[in-house]
Amino acid sequence: MNECSSRRQRLQHKMKQSGIDGCIVTQNVDLYYLLGSMQTGYFFLPTEGEGIFFVRRSFVRAGEEADVTVQELGSMRNLGSRLAESYLQLFRKPDGQPPILAAEYDVLPVQQFQRLEGAFPGARWVDGSMLIRETRMIKSAAEVALIRESARVIDMAYEAAIAALKPGMREFELMAVVESVIRNNGHMGLMRVRGYNQEIITGMIGAGDAAAMPSYFDGPAGGQGLGPASPQSAGRRPIGTDEPVLIDIGCCIDGYVIDQTRTAVIGRLPDDLMDAYELSEAVLRRTEAMLKPGTVCEELYTSALEQVREAGLSEHFMGFGSDQVKFLGHGIGLEIDELPVLARGFRYELEPGMVIAIEPKFTFPGRGVVGIENSYVITENGFETLTVSREGVASVYTAKE
């Protein structure tokens, strides 16, 4: 059995447990995960048996890539009747009950969903997005290997950035160093995000007060960006001495991302910012001690909150004021914001195969952001750290020093 087939079977098991008859998948990343192809169309997966991929474009390429039956989509109006012919027992139940169909409510545009409703009159629709996301939450050895390779490449980029860092260098120039290295070593050129209206390219590089500027991005550090059309990450601000430089960057190899953060400075950090950075490493160390199968995700977050409260830095943790985010970490994989989330209300227990980025950071308005982020895979007995970049504040000294 190949990997995509195994993934579909795990999803079918979840569908059966939820009383779902069939699932229609259309989002690019979910299609790729289940089929090995990212062509445009609709994949129908019944609770039992094999599915059919109805392709709008490119039918030829989908036939070469996908490991299921591929048919041309044709008219959307006929999709329901075609599926009824292929899955007679599902669409014409002996008890006369309508089929229960699932779709990815979290990412499916309303217009497309209405077209699906029109193609399946009488069907009862439910949200299947969490079932798909929970299936994707557990990574195979092959998936972890790609994330591990992304980590290797981003380490090369980080070291190149530290070597290039100098006073007066603009934030986006430092980002260009990172992007050049990762692009030349297999980075796809983008990092996918599932959240509505969330975008990310390579990550966030910000110096001093610019790093502490909040943004629409759901993270503890936004960055000034290049303007209102791109209000996050690196901007045109020159990097000065004795101020924190946050280097929160990622890389995507064959679809799989790594997420890591390091802190640098040209010269020396003020003592209070250095203390905050050291606390971020202490939070990471305590969290690592809890990374083992059976630990509840919520408990990792609440433990960090308590540790930070005891140190008197709660108001700066993971943002500042109304812009604080309410999590400690998140799953990564084909997207940067996967399950599980280390936050209140997330009662998932850690399982082998989960890959999590943990990012304790402290924001000081007008001064900057300090912190660290590593990515981990949960193993049978604990965890493996996937991030390989050196820890600690990377200090770059000027010629005068």
Run of H or E residues at 81:
helix 79-86
Give the fold, CATH level 3, of 3-136: Creatine Amidinohydrolase; Chain A, domain 1 (3.40.350)
Cα(396)–Cα(165) distance, rounded to whole angstroms? 7
Residue ranges of domains in the chain: 3-136, 138-396
pLDDT at 401: 44
Residue 25: half-sphere exposure toward Cβ, Cα within 13 Å:
27
pTM for the whole structure = 0.96
Cα(170)–Cα(323) distance, rounded to whole angstroms? 25
Pairing of strands 100-103, 394-396: unpaired
Cα(262)–Cα(264) distance, rounded to whole angstroms? 7
pLDDT at 222: 87
Cα(267)–Cα(396) distance, rounded to whole angstroms? 6
φ and ψ of 58, to 5 deg: -105, 125
Structure-token pair, residue 302: 């609440």
pLDDT at 374: 98
Cα(255)–Cα(396) distance, rounded to whole angstroms? 33
pLDDT at 1: 65
Residue 50 contacts residue 72 (beta carbons within 8 Å): no
pLDDT at 80: 93
| pLDDT average per 10 residues of sequence, the chain (401 residues) | 94 98 98 97 97 97 97 94 92 89 98 96 96 98 98 98 98 98 97 94 95 91 92 95 98 98 98 98 98 98 98 98 96 98 97 98 98 98 98 83 44
From its phi and psi, is residue 25 left (phi > 0), alpha (psi between -120 and 50) or beta? beta
Q: Render 324-341 in DSSP notation, one character per residue.
A: --S-SEEE-SSSSSEEEE
Cα(363)–Cα(388) distance, rounded to whole angstroms? 24
pLDDT at 93: 86
pLDDT at 336: 97
Cα(56)–Cα(74) distance, rounded to whole angstroms? 7
Run of H or E residues at 145:
helix 141-164
In a 10 Å sphere around its CB, with 0-12 CB exposed, 13-18 middle and 19+ buried, how is residue 397 labelled?
Answer: exposed
Run of H or E residues at 170:
none
φ and ψ of 359, to 5 deg: -135, 65
Q: Thinking of the domain 138-396, which architecture would CATH place it in?
A: Alpha-Beta Complex (3.90)
In a 10 Å sphere around its CB, with 0-12 CB exposed, 13-18 middle and 19+ buried, how is residue 132 labelled?
Answer: buried
Cα(394)–Cα(380) distance, rounded to whole angstroms? 33
The three-state secondary structure class of 229 is: coil
Structure-token pair, residue 184: 């030349």
